[in-house]
Amino acid sequence: MENVQMTLTGVISYPIPPYSNVPIEPQFYQPSRFVISAITRGQTTLITTSTDHNYVVGQAVRLLIPQLFGSFQLNEAQGLVLSIPSSTQVVLNIDSTRADAFIASPYTATITNITQSITPTVTATNAFLRGNSIIFSSVGGMTQINGLVGSIVTVSPTSFTVNINTTAFSAYGSGGVATLFNVPQTQAQILGIGDVNSGITSSTGRVQTSTNIPGSFINISP
């Protein structure tokens, strides 16, 4: 019996080579995520992002706030975008009146003085915790401390003591930075978890007119 090969119009009877597929554009498969640079607390919450965001009115978002950033009570809080004051700001329907103040740069502290002591006091506004390890850099005068790592013994919002003996070091001159050592430096972020399906265009974004479906949307079709 002869082999008969039939071709049906519009039917693909063989695998499509990878180079023939439509290229995947990752930006359409990942939820929008932006670094938070400031939080203004209130019955509604104003979030300022470090770069221009792409959120719209009615969009569902979630906040990711590590403990060192102060407003950790807002970690995992979810809300909707109420308005968009600027390209780097969104107002959310999240009540943040009971949250602590936001700390924009918790991983570093600018030094204004270091005492010469067995357990020196470092004057610096900081968000460090007792037991944190820190490394010193760019200190003037007391240059021997640069590059050294020590553990924080006691801490307050404006100073801390560290277990580095500075009695034989030169007197503090000026400047310097204390940085958390060996600590994963994650960032406070706002994450888009839903989008509006349709809406009318306005100066403040898109106004929702249909069902809002939370979740990150992934289109798996080519």
Distance CA 174, CA 170 (A): 12
Is the model more confident about 185 or about 187? Answer: 187
Distance CA 25, CA 196 (A): 21
Is the model more confident about 97 or about 4? Answer: 97
Task: Spell out the domain ranges in the chain.
Answer: 29-102+186-214, 108-180
List strand residue ranges (DSSP E) for 157-196, in order: 159-162, 177-180, 189-192, 194-196
CB distance 140 to 175 below 8 Å = yes
* CATH of the domain spanning 29-102+186-214: 2.40.30.180
Give me the pLDDT at residue 68, please. 83
Please compute the mean of the pLDDT values over residues 155-159 and round it to a whole number: 94
* CATH of the domain spanning 108-180: 2.40.30.180
pLDDT band at 182 (very low <50, low <70, confident <90, very high): confident
Is the model more confident about 127 or about 123? Answer: 123
Distance CA 159, CA 165 (A): 17
Q: Which residues make Cβ contacts (< 8 Å) with residue 172, sequence separation at least 6? A: 113, 114, 115, 116, 139, 140, 141, 142
Same fold, 29-102+186-214 and 108-180: yes
Assess whether pLDDT exceeds 90 at residue 75: yes
Assess whether pLDDT exceeds 60 at residue 73: yes
